[in-house]
Structure 1
């Protein structure tokens, strides 16, 4: 089990908040839960397709070598092969226009074949990444792809998000997802209804739902850290620090967004966490 984390540097550091190379063999746990996040997920699989379902027993999952995970409040159920290798990115939704040609609100569903979004350039990127075994060269190929997409963006793809949405995102993250929508609306000089309209138009989510995702993402990081620093903080402590009313509230949110409890998720992901598969919080 091998995870290599790229440094998020350069002009697109804000667009890609995490880039991780992975190489695994002898995988025994067939099911992996892709947790909801305030970021889009891009996976470039080099050996076998990524298979994503909306349920554990999904009879019609999406399968693709190049997979895009839109914003969602539900987990993605990923069928893991015995051996897998590739690169996974966490992409800021404000980069969606120039990177994927449309705002995040126009990317439907739980998983999309990147080829259906970008056409032949998706497969071309995978070939570039697969041309070398060196992780630094693979990451460089991804960075070059990002630079090309940004440089050639035109028309609607080059339009920047509304400043109220940009500032609203910053405000929500600064408050850990716990701020009141009315306070945010006042902060950006919009009515709550206007605020929701501009958020949904750009992200496909209103500010309240985005706040929920940001808070859950922070909570996942705190729960994950219990593996790295056992005994330092209880689940009740993590719940309070993340902004949940109590331990039961955190468990309820995990059940709703992950389909399992915090303890159940840790049991599934402990080996990946110990191997470095889950990095620091991206928010």
Structure 2
């Protein structure tokens, strides 16, 4: 669920420099006022999602029907893992909060568990993962009236959690290097090349990687390629240009344009053209920003 929770009517999006250490890749404060309830697609990305809502609970589902029905997840603090399909988010008339993109290999240090444990449900109640103190932090965030103060409070809380984790937050060096290698290759490297680089068999590497992150190296690579392609398309729209999807596919390591379309359909439930048209106002309002750096 990598997209910011935003809406087309009017919105404020405040981007803060992520805290040092590489655990948080991006941080966005958002405030939206719409003309009514809407439905937003939260897209898969190579990052975990952590949202502190400053209004009511964030309401999500795997499908539009689930998100708007009785089985929807309703959480004040959202924790989301690495997924292969979009989450549907109900946008009320008013909403605000802070959304963080968290590096998946920081999950042990920051959340107290490997990212793989978040791979089942679309979202998890953050207080169940982070404990009661997270709910207290959320209440304090709601009481503050400046984004600067909110980000400072949240960064201090996350720094304390990371420091407390110490060595228990460590990840096997082979997996850390495997993720870095995939990021350096922008998701375009081969599993054979990756396994040779970290001196593990393809089977062993895939098993260890999935046990840590919840996805295989191939799935992580696809998420990275898609993130780069989506960012390139968003930047073109933000600049007032029509995205050259064939050129983007070639630049981002896709075999051809049809493979880019395939990934868009899987990760957004829409074609690239349809998704960009749907998100055009959000893009021009700055909701998508310029994308995040994939290399830790």
Q: Same fold (TM over 0.5)?
A: yes
| 8 Å contact kept, 1:27–1:80 | no
> Do the aligned residues in 1 keep the contact of 2:75 with 2:125 (CA within 8 Å)?
yes
Name whichever of 210-219 and 261-270 sits farther off.
Answer: 261-270
- The answer as to 2:120 corresponding to 1:112 is no
- CA deviation digits over 1:78-117, x for unaligned, max 9? 0110110110000001111121110101123211110121
In 2, Cα distance between equivalents of 1:42 and 1:30: 21
The answer to whether 1:132 aligns with 2:140 is no
Distance 1:19 1:118 in 2: 18
- Runs (4+) of structure 1 exceeding 4 A deviation are none
The TM-score, its normalising length taken from structure 2, stands at: 0.90
Aligned residues: 279
TM-superposed CA distance for 1:167, in Å, is 0.6
- Alignment TM-score, normalising by the size of structure 1: 0.94
Alignment correspondent of 1:252: 262
Cα RMSD after superposing both structures: 1.5
Quote the offset at 1:247 in angstroms. 2.1
Q: State whether residues 75 and 258 of structure 1, in contact with CA within 8 Å, keep that contact through their aligned partners in structure 2.
A: yes
- Pick from 4, 8, 18: which aligns with 2:18? 8
User: Hey, what does 1:57 align to over in structure 2?
Assistant: 65
Q: Name the counterpart of 1:100.
A: 111
In structure 2, C-alpha distance between the alignment counterparts of 1:92 and 1:29, rounded to whole Å? 31
Shift, 1:26, TM fit: 1.7
The answer to whether residue 156 in structure 2 is matched with residue 148 in structure 1 is no
Stretch of structure 1 that moved more, 228-237 or 63-72: 228-237
| TM-fit CA distance, 1:159 | 3.5
Determine the structure 1 residue equivalent to 2:29.
Answer: 21
- Shift of the alpha carbon at 1:269? 1.6
Which one of 70, 94, 103 corresponds to residue 83 of structure 1? 94
**Is the Cα–Cα contact under 8 Å of residues 82 and 115 in structure 2 kept in the other structure?**
yes
**Which residue is equivalent to 1:213?**
223
Residue in structure 2 matched with residue 168 of structure 1 by the alignment: 178
Q: Mean Cα displacement is larger for which, 83-92 or 255-264?
A: 255-264
Render the CA deviation track for 1:194-228: whole Å, top value 9, x for unaligned. Answer: 11111011111111111011111111101111212
Q: Deviations over 1:34-87 (max 9, x none)?
A: 111010011111112101100111131111111111111110100110110110
1:45 paired with 2:33, answer no
Larger displacement relative to structure 2 (263-272 or 97-106): 263-272
> Does the Cα contact within 8 Å between 1:239 and 1:247 map onto a contact in 2?
yes
Match of 1:73 among 79, 84, 88: 84
Q: How far is 1:232 from its partner?
A: 6.6
Cα deviation, residue 233, structure 1: 4.3
- Can you give the 5+ residue segments of structure 1 that lack an aligned partner in the other structure? none
> 1 CA distance for matches of 2:171 and 2:82?
16
Contiguous gaps of at least 5 residues in structure 2:
1-10
Deviation at 1:246, TM superposition (A): 2.3
Aligned position for 2:208: 198
SS at match of 1:145: helix
State the alpha-carbon separation in 1 of the partners of residues 36 and 92 from structure 2: 9
Q: 1:153 aligns to what SS in structure 2?
A: helix
Cα distance between partner residues in 2 of 1:232 and 1:254: 17
